[in-house]
Amino acid sequence: MKTTVSLGAVAALVLMAGVSPLASAEAAAQGVDVAVASTDGIRSYNADEVPTFNIAEDGTVDWPTFSGYRRYQSECHVCHGPDGMGSTYAPPLKDSVMRLDYYDFLATIANGKQEVGAAMNLVMPAFGTNPNVMCYVDDIWTYLRARGSGALDRGRPAKRADKTPEYAEVEKTCME
């Protein structure tokens, strides 16, 4: 049985790419990564309704950020290095997400990216039809933002919140 991500979800990601980016310094100054709401009972959002990490004072990482760690290590680290640190093959994503707008990140993941020239040959494949990436793209974003902002150290988070039933249902629906 072949699993695919809904075309509507991919279309929404592509359409959202037109939103203008916030510079990372401005984003940090404005508290863009500050969790202000959890409107769906699944993940935290910032004031701009962009998914963000939520790490408790005792270091407990919210489930979506922990899931992002797991998915990153499963799908992204081969090219981009462990913990978003980069490699000789691909840039450090923990730094890239601090410069990229959320919607540009989604568009790049869904559509891929290619920059070929005399001095470089950068090719990122499109993951828009890969449910192992697209069903968890918000989780990967929050994990990388936590890493890029310095809120989360390298390695597997020592403490994590449990997966909620709401998260499990959304995950199941996306992977079907």
The model's pLDDT over 94-138, given as tens digits with 9 standing for 90+, comes to 999 999 999 999 999 999 998 887 777 778 999 999 999 999 999
Residue 2's pLDDT band, with cuts at 50, 70 and 90, is very low
- The angle subtended at Cα 88 by Cα 107 and Cα 143, nearest 5°, is 45
Residue 33's pLDDT band, with cuts at 50, 70 and 90, is confident
Number of residues in the chain: 176
Q: How far apart are CA 77 and CA 66, in angstroms?
A: 15
pTM for this model (two decimals): 0.79
Instruction: Indicate if the pLDDT at residue 76 is higher than 70.
Output: yes
* pLDDT recorded at residue 142: 96
CA dihedral 83→22→50→115, nearest 10 degrees, is: -50
Q: How far apart are CA 8 and CA 79, in angstroms?
A: 28
